[in-house]
Structure 1
Amino acid sequence: MDDDGTPPLDVPAGYQVAGWRITELIGSGGWGSVYAAEDPAGGTVAVKFLRPGLPTPGRHRTMAELVRREDYFSRRADHPQLIRTLAAVTVRDPGDPRLDGALALVMERAERSLQQVLADGEPGTAVTGAARILAEVATGLAHMHGRGWVHGDLKPGNILLMADGGVRLADFGLSAELDGGTHAYAPPLGSPDHVPPEWWSHRAGARGVELRPSADVWAFGVLAHQVLTGGLHPFLGATARARSLAAQAYARGTAPLRLDERLPDGWRAVIADCLAGDPAVRSRLGAAELLARVRQAGGPPPPARA
């Protein structure tokens, strides 16, 4: 059972989806479950099943929109730091009402997520290979921004570590293409303690909530602080909501920015600029310059991967 009390979407071993055979459960959440699967040649993938029986039509429409966005972006993404979606299908199985109508995304399989690495680590101690991980995340982010896309949900759970040691951005359900090169729109979702302070003041219209590249820069600052401190968030709070309120107080100027004292000076400056309360300041930083500064703070860039 997941943290929210929702049982996993039960998919039996051997179940076939678009030519892949389900083998075992990887993880589960309120929206669905992720299973490992293999093809006849022995290749392995991850299959994300999204629940068909959501409680309201509105939530089901939102889920369908997330799947559409992820599939749309993945078919256009081609970069070593971006996870690939191999297929998006609707399960048709009238004999099994639990699965009939479920949406399934077949994706490259990773070894584990950065969230799992942080959970297994020691608070206050940087993740092994922190500089390389952050450089590869920044590389993927710079590629997305350079192609006119915003990720929209950058957080440890959406950073995947591959079997070959590579790092890839994943979960593009909130990713959006920039309109006029400045902003995009996404469903009013996201991780409360990784969205920027201004996100809370944006009203959701017919196209969703306004989203700018500066939101990804903010999220990278939070992520970098967590990677370099073993999971410690730059804004204190026992819950995600409390941490988001602390970030909003800082952005209003009613609270100072208190970064962990163990951060190296070079990284401290990068993170502080990413967490600028004014989104215009973050916009001037940009993902390309952010990548250059991350490489400078962490040493030589990682070797290129095929």
Structure 2
Amino acid sequence: MSTSGAEEGALGMPRLPAGFRIDGWKLDAVIGSGGWGTVYEAHAVADGTVAAVKVLPTGALAPGQRAALGELIAREVRFSAEADHPHLIRTHAVCTVSAPDMPALDGAIALVMDRAEASLRQTLDAAGTGGPIPEAVRILCGVAAGLAHMHGAGWVHGDLKPANVLLGADGAVWLADFGLATELEGTHAYLPPLGTLDHVPPEWWSQRTGAGGTVVRPTADIWAFGVLAHQVLTGGLHPFPGATARARSYAAQAYARGTAPLRLDAGLDENWRRLIGDCLAPDHAGRLRHTAASLSARIEQLASPRGRRRMLPVAAVA
């Protein structure tokens, strides 16, 4: 198939044109592009089923980058093969791109996944600030339930953030992007020193990186959930001040050292404030008793008719 006129995508790579076929899937429009690859809407040739196809090129990467990407893909594929939960995105197939006239993309890996309508990041960006986004409690219920299933199965997500929560039709809420998901070896696991700066816990910065990587525990996901919950309930406000992700991470570290207080948004109800504060305990030991399962149960209580009233800003219920 001709690939003339393809646009440039992630990593300066050309984009595959609409109509390009990867195994039993035909590509449609580009959904988005990131540091590692490009995501396309696609449909199954056989029955028209809509999906998202993430194309991850490897040919033009340096050896170190190729090894890192290969590890991320292997993690995502391995976890997706084992995951079976309504709040975890599914990977339906792993394919190899055949595009001999586009050497940069020939041999790229393609992951065929559920098609989402938007990411939570996009929803937050559109909402502005000042109060809970629409369906905030339902979204948090879904995220907590998916996270509880992962932890119960012995896995840590490792990169929980709004961009990795996908929202689908009919109210679907999915955790996604399992490139850093890793299986626990007892109480902890090891990850490469990657992560989103303003969503990793304070201890991440003081740990040494050994041969196996950086130590990660389920409490890292609990911290990230606290950050995410604050954002969902305030229209996108991060619980730690700063104009950049690095500045926000410095503010979180100052809080963990005891040199700065935890200042949550004033509009949060006390029940939500307490839940987020529990997630944002300054060290691993302080978060240890707050599991994803217990958070899920607490959020379900707040999702009751009485609890939904607490979603209103403090001033509105005074």
Q: Which range, TM-score by smaller chain?
A: over 0.9
Matched residue of 1:284: which SS?
Answer: coil
Contact 2:124 2:133 in 1 (8 A): yes
**Aligned ranges for residues 285-296 of structure 1 at < 5 Å?**
285-296=290-301
Alignment match, 1:158? 164
Among 280, 288, 299, the alignment partner of 1:283 is: 288
Q: Is residue 98 from structure 1 mapped to residue 104 from structure 2 by the alignment? A: yes
- The answer to whether the 8 Å contact 1:9/1:33 transfers is no
Q: Is the aligned partner of 1:135 residue 2:114? A: no
Whole-angstrom CA distance in 2 between matches of 1:125 and 1:53? 45
Task: Show the counterpart of 1:60.
Answer: 66
Q: Does 1:234 align with 2:262?
A: no
User: Aligned partner of 1:153: which letter?
Assistant: D
Identity among equivalent pairs (%): 60
- Asked whether the 8 Å contact 1:87–1:107 carries over to 2, the reply is yes
Gaps of at least 5 residues in structure 2 are 1-6, 309-318
- Equivalent of 1:88 in 78, 90, 94: 94
> d(CA) in 2 for partners of 1:203 and 1:35?
38
In structure 1, which of residues 144, 150, 168 is the aligned counterpart of residue 150 of structure 2? 144
Does the 8 A contact of 1:148 with 1:178 survive in 2?
A: yes
Report the Cα distance in structure 2 between the residues aligned to 1:204 and 1:42, rounded to whole angstroms: 46
Q: Deviations over 1:240-299 (max 9, x none)?
A: 011011001100111100000011111000000000002112111111111112222332
Q: Which secondary structure state, in structure 2, belongs to the residue aligned with residue 285 of structure 1?
A: coil
Q: CA deviation at 1:6?
A: 5.1
1:33 equivalent to 2:33? Answer no
Q: Which amino acid aligns with 1:91?
A: V
1:74 maps to a residue whose letter is S
Query: Aligned equivalents of 2:267 and 2:76: distance in 1?
Result: 37
Matched residue type, 1:68: A
- Give how far 1:7 is off: 4.7
Greater C-alpha radius of gyration: 2
The gaps in structure 1 that reach 5 residues or longer are none
- Quick check: 1:17 aligned with 2:15? no
C-alpha distance in structure 1 between counterparts of 2:143 and 2:14, whole Å: 30
8 A contact 2:22–2:96 mirrored in 1: no
Q: Give 1:208's aligned residue.
A: 213
1:187 is matched with 192
Q: Provide the alpha-carbon RMSD of the alignment.
A: 1.9
Matched AA of 1:276: A
State the alpha-carbon separation in 2 of the partners of residues 115 and 36 from structure 1: 19
Give the Cα separation in 1 of the matches to 2:134 and 2:176. Answer: 20
Q: d(CA) in 1 for partners of 2:87 and 2:21?
A: 29
Letter in 2 for 1:121: A
Give the partner amino acid of 1:205.
Answer: G
Of 170-179 and 94-103, more deviation after overlay is shown by 94-103
Equivalent pair of 1:83/1:108 in contact (CA under 8 Å): yes
Q: Deviations over 1:100-147 (max 9, x none)?
A: 121211101111110110011121221101011101110011111111
Q: Deviations over 1:216-241 (max 9, x none)?
A: 00000000000000000000101001
8 Å contact 1:131–1:299 — kept in the other structure?
no
Give, in whole Å, the separation in 1 of the partners of 2:162 and 2:12.
23
Per-residue CA distance 1:55-114 (angstroms, 9 max, x = gap):
421111101100000000000000000000011223233321121121211101111110
Query: What residue identity is the alignment partner of 2:33?
Result: S
* TM-score between the two structures when normalised by the length of structure 2: 0.90
SS at match of 2:171: coil
Give runs of ≥4 in structure 1 deviating > 3 Å: 4-9
